[in-house]
Amino acid sequence: MVAEEGQGVKIARRVALEVLRRVEAEGAFVQLCLNHALDRAPRLTRQDRALATELVYGVLRWRRRLDWALKAYCHRPLERVEPTLLRLLRLGAYQLLMLDRVPEWAAVDEATETARIMRGRHAANFVNGVLRSLARGKASIDWPQDDSAASLAVRYSFPDWMVVEWLERFGQHKLVRLLDALNQPASRCIRANSLRITPAGLRELLAASAVEAREDEVVVGALRVDSGGEITSTAAHQTGMFHIQDGAAQAACLLLDPRPGERVLDACSAPGGKTATLAQLMKNQGEIYAADVHPARLSLVRELSERLGISIVKCFTQDLSDPVPAEWGKFDRILLDAPCSGLGVIRRHPETKWRVDPKDLSVMAGKQLKLLDSVSRVLKPGGFLVYSVCTFSRQECEQTIEKFLSTHGDFLISDPRRERSQPWHKLIDAGGMMRTWPDEHDLDGFFAVRLQKAPV
């Protein structure tokens, strides 16, 4: 039994190494890549799977901090270390510095043996020497202590440009809270399928599967899952009683406030969480056009709709930065959850830290503005359009809206607080724009604004 558990731990480390390779070398998304790798890995217990997950996310979250420690004990610049060996060093360093439950000898020996198998004896000696030196000297590492942007970037493991920009924008107190929150695992949030069950009923059903959940105080219909195993294996999930969706994304749908019988366009719909929430708010009455540029991802929208018993969704493979097909007609409401830099979901996608470049923000903003212009043309007079992005860069949020409004005089910001009061209105700022923060709300970082087209 002990030997089998030891083998599982070794497999978990090899899985983590391969996932890190794919994420860094091939640009794979960590969540999808890790899930695929774990499904294919043999003989992994729940604990082994948890270890592989911890290693992958931990190395990606703390890469900058790990590299600082490794530089003190590596006799060559890290940029000159062969990528496979650097990944092994980071995996070893994460276990040595941040995982108390992993024996030091096990972390060093496994990395050394893997280096020998993959790159030979010389590479194994190199990895062994660096990690053993780190294990001996980790208590005396000279971490940066001051509150400069450069020091904060190392301590919290973020690129310099992000910390410099956010320090100027948010101030030190807010910045430190935000960086810390973005390095934590994201909370689990689901939405009760109101076509089949109430939030209270879903809580009881989940409790029968040993899953504890509580209703969110701000986003009505959302439940936070506090404990329990894999929720997708529960009877409640299999029978379509809920779908997984962060509360911030749910709030963006509440902001659109679609009504039964209306025609709604979900402009960038995959993988379908917002489509499902919109359909439930519409009581499965009316029509939703779910469009996405990726056919494979659009199939996820169909599958989710079928599992939840939603029948009003029509799926279309369409790039809506191009003119919207005339035969689609006009819509009462439009949700444009636009592609963005993803800075607000770094908790879920820590690889974003190392992929996004400052120049990407203005490039994304240009694409978002093009999408806004395109879909706005098929909104009925008096209709509503919600623009949302899971980021908080000014270029993609306020500045994009300002540019759109400057060239579309028939649109105005529609503040939902002028209507009936709702708990989620706490997320609306003084300018009528919705903002959610990982550090303040334990939600993904979202920006959303509702625009109304002038009546004829």
Q: Between the CA of residue 441 and those of 2, 277, 288, 329, 398, what are the distances in Å?
A: 43, 20, 30, 38, 20
Q: What region, left, alpha or beta, does residue 135 occupy, with left being phi > 0 and alpha being psi -120 to 50 degrees? A: alpha
> Coil, helix or strand for 384?
strand
Q: How far apart are CA 75 and CA 72, in angstroms?
A: 8
Q: Cis omega (within 30 of 0) on the bond before 258? A: no
- Considering the domain architecture, whether residues 172 and 226 belong to the same structural domain is answered as no
**Nearest-10 crossing angle of helices 247-256, 273-281:** 50
Decide: helix, strand or coil at residue 287. strand
Based on the fold, state whether residues 220 and 252 are members of the same structural domain.
Answer: no
Catalytic site residue 397?
Answer: no
Residue 155 in any domain: the answer is yes
pLDDT at 1: 28
Domain match, 340 and 385 both:
yes
Which DSSP state fits 326? G
Residue that is last in its domain, among 201, 221, 244: 244
pLDDT recorded at residue 19: 97
pLDDT tens, position by position, 265-318:
999 999 999 999 999 999 999 999 999 999 999 999 999 999 999 999 999 999
Q: Give yes or no for a contact between 423 and 354, defined as CB atoms under 8 angstroms apart.
A: no
Looking at the fold, whether 316 and 418 belong to one and the same domain comes out as yes
Q: Is residue 187 part of a domain?
A: no
The confidence score (pLDDT) of residue 46 equals 87
Q: Is residue 369 part of a domain?
A: yes
Residue 424 carries which DSSP code? Answer: G
For 322-336, write each residue's pLDDT tens digit: 999 999 999 999 999
Domain that residue 102 falls in: 2-140
Residue pair 376/348 in contact (Cβ under 8 Å)? The answer is no
Does 132 lie in the same domain as 6? yes
pLDDT tens digits, 20-33: 999 999 999 999 99
Which tens digits make up the pLDDT trace of 230-259? 899 999 999 999 999 999 999 999 999 999
What total of structural domains would you count in the chain?
A: 4
Q: Is residue 130 domain-shared with residue 204, that is, in the same domain?
A: no
Q: What is the pLDDT of residue 3?
A: 35
Which of these, 115, 142, 140, 138, lies nearest to 126 by C-alpha position? 115
Q: Which alpha helices (DSSP H) does 120-198 contain, by range?
A: 121-137, 149-155, 160-170, 172-182
Any idea what the CATH number is for the domain that residue 24 is in? 1.10.940.10
pLDDT computed for residue 311 by the predictor: 98
Pull the structure tokens for residue 363.
């490039």
pLDDT of residue 420: 81
Q: Are 226 and 294 contained in the same domain?
A: no
* pLDDT beneath 70: ranges in the chain: 1-5
- The active-site residue, picked from 74, 340, 390, 397, is 390
CA distance 421 to 426: 10
